Structure 1
Amino acid sequence: MTHDHSGTHYDYVVIGCGTIGSMALWQLTEQAPGARILGIERFDRVHTKGSYSGESRLFRVALKEGGIYIPMVQQARRMWLAMNERSGRDIFLPVGAVSVGPADFPTMVQTMAVIEEFGLDHEVLDAAELAERFPVFAAPAPGAAPDTAILDPAGGGIRPELAVAWAQQFALSGGATLWDNTRVLAVEPGPDHTLIRTERGDVTADKVIVATGSWAADIFPDLAAHISVQSIPLTWYLPLDITGFLPENLPIFMRDIVRETGGGTEIWHCYGAPTLDGYSVKISHGDFVGGATTPDGLEALRTGEIPADVVRVFSERTAAFFDGMLDAPVRISLHHDGFTADHAPVLCHVPGTGGAVTVATGMSGNGMKFAPVYGRAAAQLAVDGAAPGLPDAFGYPTAVREPSPAVIPATLH
């Protein structure tokens, strides 16, 4: 814990120093050198209560959403690699990404359309090539459409805990102060400064960035109508032979299986990463546990167990996705994030604050892949009043946003 007792007024205060807030705190020290900068974190510096924990996050450049997201994700990749170089740690793992599914599956079609529109580096594998290159993927069931794969060599994995810790460390090295285990009780903009009331006492700031993730409605109650907090389970399975799941042999992955049943068509989706602990593989599914809730309410789920019938479904699907897995997870963790209807974040000035308060929330399970870019944009909004290239779609919601026709699945990809 770092303390600063030299005063209670700061040029910039960042509230919430997790996925986006840690990056914003770091970027403030880059964009406003010499400024008095304070970060306030409700929990420990790095912890398990936010949306970012869980060992790995997926990173893709060939995003099926395309459009505004491609330039941002390309810039994010450059920033991730720069963080690797500066920290000397493998925060970003450039192992590539592979999407597996029938060639005519909508997400596969959308991904190929984006690749062609932006001229992205890629490789397409047919069923035989997929089986030769990545033999760990189970063959489709008899009668099912053959798989194809799209390899995105610019993709990879992110170690989220390392990312948050090193962004904070860069900020501290740049002169910022960080209060951890400090809850913010209120943010009160005024004509001359913004008052931040905390459990440790009050401070004031010229500019404030609020990046409290799933807790955003605690400070901005009107956002509760626009951001739904969802619980997300992550699961790890044990292969008898780890060789095919090593990072040098398997990229981060997503797979979709289309199954015809007596009741109609089912779509099974999984995503995950090669082994990072050397014995298990994160293979998680796009199913929620607990539905819409509050992040504090999720603590009750966190100390309990995922229902046995849900775990059985996960294990049945895992066996269909991959060969050689033991039929029960060896590790399970529960997480949460705030989702907007169109899955675009809220990253903008808060109306009525004269540009003094910026909010970054509603990351919809995708904040980590864009974190350096979103953190830099939040810092630019605070320092310069504007962030070049920031989409209008990220504005403060005054009406419920309409769902996008091509949203990112509601998972912690």
Structure 2
Amino acid sequence: MSQQPMLSVDEALDRLLAAARPLTEVETVATEAALGRTLAQSQVSPIAVPPLDNSAMDGYAVRVSDLNTQGDTRLPVSQRILAGSVGVPLAPKTAARIFTGAPIPPGADAVVMQEDTTAVEDGVTVHKAVTPGAHIRRAGEDIAPGATVLSAGTRLFPQHLGLAASVGLAQLPVVRRLRVATFFTGDELVAPGMPLEPGRIYNSNRYTINGLATALGFEVVDLGTVRDDLAATMAVLARAAQCADVVITSGGVSVGEADFVKAAVERQGRLDMWRIAVKPGKPLAFGEVAGKPFIGLPGNPVSVFVTFCLFARPFLLRMQGVQQVMPAAFWVEAAFDWPRPDRRREFLRARLVRDEEPTTRVEIYPHQGSGVLTSTVWGDGLVDVPAAAPVRQGERVRFIPFAELMR
């Protein structure tokens, strides 16, 4: 029987995102506790920001008509207005000493920068004429009352919390945290800190997957390592589906005699084995157990890292209710040759370098094997190489920073 053609990366992503069912449970948290959470409902501003016309800098509030356009103008200082206080109407032929953020007094129509003045006894000499509106921040120029300041489906980062606070929002409605259950199978796996006997390996994938999920703000339910046994695998799989929203594991989903995850999932739900035209990676299992999505990542350490970032991450974020789930990328000059590309789309571990010009370029780790986890620590991103596309030094390539894949 011939194998099904491989899915492209974009086709696999489309299928995953189409299958994601966003959580609907909402909880209200203090704004300062909302970092990393997903906003459940759009927020509108109850006020204008700024609430009043105010000074953009330290200086003097004046009437433009009082200034001499041909030379210096000496004006008495009639009042002093600090941020947080409100002045009185500005008397004609006077100036008000004003500080950044302080409200513009009625009658004033411009601010002269402190640098364009000289303080004199009982007054100020203005050396430079200004135009109406100079150095004034108008009420509502940033945010109008009733304007939407934050949209539903936004992941809340520090700037979002600052914006919410700027309009007086002390609490925010957020989607409850997605619960991700993980477990790992294999009699060869050993926990770090234990003796490493012949034929055994330390379980790095557990730390990679749990770490990535935690960095994205999900609640991780780590069910540990399961021995190679069908009954034990079925039991932990049922427990995972019962206590979490999504189940993720790595390895154990091929057709080998000791690969029990595939059989366990098929007995308790359904499983699709996808062959994706991606390197590292290619095999990806996606299915459902007791109504909960199941993702089976490849077993090689680098493949786990890359396929989680490319496929599991956007799926999980969409389930969390996030609207924008794809990482930002940019184009940069290649500082390497890649003369023998694979027929699959490749994601090379890479890092940015700056030479003397200065020009930002990207270099790749010399060993791109799927077991070389060192490359993910050495690098700070992935170079996205289209299928069967050689790369020559100096050409522009698409670069995805790790920082984008872990937020």
TM-score interval, smaller chain: under 0.3
TM-score by length of 2: 0.24
- Structure with higher helix content: 1
User: Whose RCO is larger (CA < 8 A, sep 6+)?
Assistant: 1
TM-score by length of 1: 0.23
Q: Which has the larger radius of gyration?
A: 2
